[in-house]
Amino acid sequence: GNSYSGDATKNSIVINGGTVNTIVGVYGAYSSSGNAGGINKGNTVTITGGTLKGKGKVYGGYVSGGSGSAINNAVDISGSATIGSSGSSKDIYCGYTGGTGIATGNTVSINLVTNNKGTPDDTTDDTGVIWGTVYGGYSESGDAGGTGANEGNTVNITRGTVSGSVYGGYVS
């Protein structure tokens, strides 16, 4: 879903295989200044296989600026999916706000089967890997999370490999 100033809600992207070469990124929802997601209105990106390459990142819900918030979005990555490469990292943002909005209630679930195709010291051709950093919620100037028991962001890693850092919430 894409919106200039309105809300982008209840959208989904499913990638089950193949190679996706992104120039800008994979977005469950994009809004310039409105909300991406909401209570019972979250957006979902599901990747169960295949390879994501290119310069772009993966976003469950993305707000580029203003006071819009990224709320209750989900990114689910499983199977043998490979995100990025050793030479080109690709970060995962479940909820991203580039302005003063909040990023809360977002959930990243990772359940990858890592296949070591090379030698133990050479991971460049492995599958089932996220080559980058994972953010449950990210806000440039607002809050990432909340004050209540059910207001935070969640990153669940059952199995798999993440080459970068993992953050439940991050404010830059």
Question: 115-146 burial, b if ≥16 CB within 10 A, otherwise e?
Answer: eeeeeeeebeebbbbbbbbbbbbbbbebbbbb
Q: Over range 56-80, report the average pLDDT.
A: 95
Coil, strand, or helix at residue 93? strand
Please report, in angstroms and rounded to a whole number, the separation of the first and last CA atoms in the chain. Answer: 26
Whether the pLDDT of residue 96 is over 80: the answer is: yes
Render pLDDT for 100-138 as a digit per residue (tens, 0 to 9): 999 999 999 999 987 766 555 555 667 788 999 999 999
Residue 2 CB: number of other CB atoms within 10 A? 12
Say which amino acid occupies 98.
Answer: G
* Confidence band of 40 (pLDDT split at 50, 70, 90): confident
